[in-house]
Amino acid sequence: MAVEAQTLTPQQMVVLYMQAEADLVAGGKDVTLNGRRFVYAELNQIRDGLLYWERRVAAQARGGRPGYSLASF
């Protein structure tokens, strides 16, 4: 699987990273994301990337606002 991230939305990147994780866990295949090859031993890096893109999607859904609110007294 070889895909360039420049043409994908954050939502598409989440799907791509989830598929890469599933491929590595299921079959121990190697996957290529953003021109970089990953093997099963690098599963944590795939999961870190997935977390990054999930946060980007969440930020986009919030309209760029922070995920917390400040109390005013």
pLDDT for 30-54, tens place per residue? 777 778 787 777 788 888 989 999 9
Query: Whole-angstrom Cα distance, residue 25 to residue 2?
Result: 18
- pLDDT, residue 3, reads 55
pLDDT for 13-34, tens place per residue? 899 888 888 887 887 667 777 7
Domain boundaries, the chain: 2-61
Is the distance from CB of 33 to CB of 49 less than 8 angstroms?
A: yes
Q: What are phi and psi of 59, to 5 degrees?
A: -65, -40
